[in-house]
Every structure is written in C-alpha cells, then in structure tokens.
Amino acid sequence: MNQDMHFDLVVLAILLAFIAYSLLTRAVERSLLTLPIIFMCLGYVLSEPLRTAAPPEVLHEGKRLLAEITLVLVLFSDASHVRFSQMKQSWRLPARMLVIGLPLSVALGTLVTWLISPEGGIAMALLTAAVLTPTDAALGQSVVTSANVPEKLSETINVESGLNDGLVLPFVLLGAILASAGMAGADTGGLALNAVLQIVLGPLAGIVTGWVVARLMDVAQARRLIAASAEGVVFLAAAFAAYVLASAIGGNGFIAAFVAGMIFGNSYKHNIRFVREFMEGAGLLLTMSSFLVFGALLLPDGLAHASTKTVVIAVMFLTVVRVGAIWLSLAGSGLKPREKLFLGWFGPRGLASILFTLLIIDTYDFANEAELLACVSITVALSILVHGLSSTPLARWIGEADDS
C-alpha cells in the first residue's frame, strides 16, 4: 500500500468517526462518555497510522493552523455570549473566581511547580501554571446544562470558563517570553516592553473591530440587507479581522479576538444566535478535530516524557491548586462548603490548555519544553477522564444536596 492510499484511509477513518459521533450525539449525552474522551482515545489509537501516513512537516503545520483557527473562534464565541447586563445581577461569584481565583491559581500553581521542579526555574513554573489555569466547560457540559445543578452554580461555571481563557493570556505570554529570554540569556527589557505592547494594543484592536462590525451589522439588519446565511460569515470575518489587525499593529491577536467577541456581543442589538449555531456546527467539528489531534500528536509525546514529577504536578493542578484557589476566592461569599468544592472541582483543563501549548511551543524556544508538554498532556488527559466521568453523578449529588 503506497503512502497516499494509507493517508486517505486514515482520513476516511477520521471522517467516519465524525459522522458516527454526530449520528449518536443524543445517545452519547445520556452516557458517561463525552466528546473529549471519545476523540482523545480515537486520536491516540490513530497516532501511529497518522504519523506514518503523513509527513512530519504536514502534521506540524496542520496542528498549528488548527490551533490558531480554533482558539480565535472559541475566544470570540465564548466572550460574545457574556452579557454585561446579566453580570450586573449575578456577577459576584464569577467575578470573585476571575479577579481573585484566577491570579491566585497562577500564583499557587507557579509556587507548586517550582517547588516540585525547581530546575526549570521560576519562568517555566509561571508558564506551566498559566497554561494550566484556563478551564473548559465542554469537559463538564452535562454540569452546565443539568437541571439538577442550581442555576447560580451552572451560570458561574459557564461565565468563568467563557472568560478565563482570555484573561489568562497575558500570564501565558509573559511566562513564555521570560522562559525564552532566560534560555537565550538575553536582556528581558525589550521583551517585557513587547509583552506590554501586545497586552495593550491587542484589546484596542479588539474594541475597534468588535464595535465597528456590530454597528455595521446592525445597520444591515435594520435595512434588511443581510441574509441569514451570511451572518456566520460576519462572525468568522470579525474574529479573524480582530486577530489580524492586532498582529499588524503589534498587539496580541488572541487577546484581540477575545475582547472583540465581548464588545460585539454587547454592542450588537439583534439576536446573536448565529454565533452559537455556527459553533454548534462547524465549531463542533473543530472541537472534535482538536481533541483528536491532542490524542494523536500531543498525548503520545507527553507520555513519552512523563515522569513522577509531571504526574504529581498534574494531580496538584487538578486538586490543590484549582480547588484551593477557588475556595479562597469564595471566602465570605455565603456559599456552603459543598458548593465551593463543587465550583473548585469543575475547573476541567481542555481545549485552551492544549491550544496554548501548541502555539507557545511553536512560537518560542525555551528549555524544558518536553516537561511542559508532559505536564499539560497528563493534566488534560486526566481532566478529560475524571471530570467527564464525574460530571453526571456529581451534578446529581449537588442537586440532591440543594433540595435537602
């Protein structure tokens, strides 16, 4: 069998898996299995055939492109559904978790990583903590949508997961730059200034893009100039326009996409359902592809470099770091201990951590890349399994506890 035919067969197997999952989505929702579990395992099974069928440079460029496209759309989409008006009424819990819990998670994670692996240095510890801080509600979707979970808890999880991947970006960028500079022995002054410019100019590009596109689309809607089928194109173009504009002026494109989504969602005066519809369709395909790529290309490499240290770091991030930071951030909130534990536990690591790692490793050169990959791979794999399998029973538990 020649290489082209081998590659075609692997791609066909992947496409058939996409079709099979789509046909059985309702059945999967009723089981303990989740999309991330299924496609991570499928990717791992197809890892060797995929590496054999495709040239390394094709796989490398493909996973980077997939990472950039998916992350831009996820950031824009998640932020576009956060309403300032709604947050005025129920902002306290997610605000505590984001304003206090997120920096605390990064700080505590940095300390834990440095204590366990001091040879990596404080910069690598910061980068590891920042990459492993953002959460992914898709891994515990049954919690967010479950009728058993009190609305204040499910809404808090939803808002936090929608915002924290964008808010943690400056920490990821700073950690990557400092780790890269430390390896090269270069003066970090210029790099620090570059980081500040990216963090400042990125949001500016996002604000301009989000507001202008929202205003133009409002005019088009009011005058009945836009067809419903074209609304998704505007969403796509706006997300990538923010990214490109930020990159052109020296800002961070991912921060720009996140801010643009928030400004667009709160400035657009008509129904924004087309963003959700796109992400439930084409966005679902990107999500399936991302977890498959994780299982096929990242997880095997991560496991190959795994050590006792990386496993301990992964377990600590899923337990002590996350739960401890959230518990402290919710002190004085009036929540019961079990509710604090519930919110702390459901901080699964997934898509954002995977995509940040792909992009950081490809963009920057720093020592201990293998250890970072191992930490992220093991943490995400464990999170996919334990959070996915525990979401339904724990949603039922918190609901029963709330009724009693």
Residues of 374-390 as b/e, b for ≥16 C-beta within 10 angstroms? Answer: bbbbbbbbbbbbebbeb
Q: Encode pLDDT of 37-49 as tens digits.
A: 899 999 999 998 8
pTM of the model: 0.83
Residues of 264-274 as b/e, b for ≥16 C-beta within 10 angstroms? Answer: bbbbbeeebeb
pLDDT at 138 over 70: no
Please state, in angstroms and rounded to a whole number, the distance separating the CA atoms of residues 359 and 131: 11
CATH of domain 74-274+310-403: 1.20.1530.20
C-alpha radius of gyration, the chain, whole number: 21
Q: Encode pLDDT of 158-186 as tens digits.
A: 778 767 877 888 888 888 888 887 655 54
Q: What is the mean pLDDT of the chain?
A: 85
Please state, in angstroms and rounded to a whole number, the distance separating the CA atoms of residues 88 and 171: 27
Contacts of 240 by beta carbon, 8 Å cutoff, 6+ apart: 72, 257
3-class DSSP state of 364? coil
DSSP string computed for 152-164? HHHHHHHHHHHHH
Tokens of 109: 């994670």
Interval 68-91 mean pLDDT: 76
Please state, in angstroms and rounded to a whole number, the distance separating the CA atoms of residues 309 and 312: 5
Alpha helix locations (H) across 140-272?
Answer: 141-145, 151-167, 169-184, 188-222, 231-249, 253-267
pLDDT at res. 100: 94
Ramachandran area for residue 74 (φ above 0: left; ψ -120 to 50: alpha; else beta): alpha
Distances in Å between the Cα of 106 and the Cα atoms of 76, 99, 276 are: 23, 12, 30
Q: Encode pLDDT of 235-246 as tens digits.
A: 889 999 999 999
Residues of 181-218 as b/e, b for ≥16 C-beta within 10 angstroms? Answer: bbbeeeebeebeeebeebbebbbbbbbbbbbbbbeebe
Please state, in angstroms and rounded to a whole number, the distance separating the CA atoms of residues 365 and 17: 35
Categorize the per-residue pLDDT at 189 as very low, low, confident or very high, splitting at 50, 70 and 90: low
Q: Where are the domains of the chain?
A: 74-274+310-403
Determine whether 147 is exposed, middle or buried from the number of CB atoms within 10 Å of its CB (0-12, 13-18, 19+). exposed
Q: Which of 37, 133, 50, 49 is nearest to 347 (CA)?
A: 133
pLDDT at 188 over 60: no
Q: Quote helix, strand, coil % in the chain, to nearest 5.
A: 85, 0, 15
Please state, in angstroms and rounded to a whole number, the distance separating the CA atoms of residues 34 and 392: 11
